[in-house]
């Protein structure tokens, strides 16, 4: 059980960091970033409910959600500073 939790959490973090760098590389807008984050969190809920116990689900989901919100804030700051302009 612990192995599946660790694997699921690591998978979620690696996906979040990959999508963050990929979106910034393509210089996408903040609106599109938020839409992708909502879709990603929705898929993560389905994945977590399917593979994890409910008592661990809430803890990991809150961490993943905070990670996504933080990512949005950082990308918004990059766009605002002009470091990530849409082409």
| 26-56 residue pLDDT tens | 555 555 666 666 777 776 666 666 665 555 6
Q: Considering the chain, what is the average pLDDT of its residues?
A: 60
Boundaries of every domain in the chain: 2-81
Q: What is the pLDDT of residue 59?
A: 66
Q: Which residues of 24-59 are buried (b: 16+ CB within 10 A; e: fewer)?
A: beeebebeebeebbeebbeebeeebeeebeeebbee
CB 34 within 8 A of CB 79: no
């Amino acid at each position: 059980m612990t192995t599946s939790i660790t694997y699921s959490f690591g998978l979620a973090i690696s996906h979040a960091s990959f999508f963050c760098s990929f979106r910034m590389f393509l210089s996408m807008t903040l609106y599109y970033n938020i839409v992708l984050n909502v879709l990603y969190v929705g898929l993560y809920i389905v994945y977590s409910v399917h593979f994890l116990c409910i008592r661990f689900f809430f803890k990991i989901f809150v961490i993943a959600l905070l990670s996504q919100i933080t990512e949005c804030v950082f990308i918004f700051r990059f766009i605002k500073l002009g470091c990530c302009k849409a082409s």
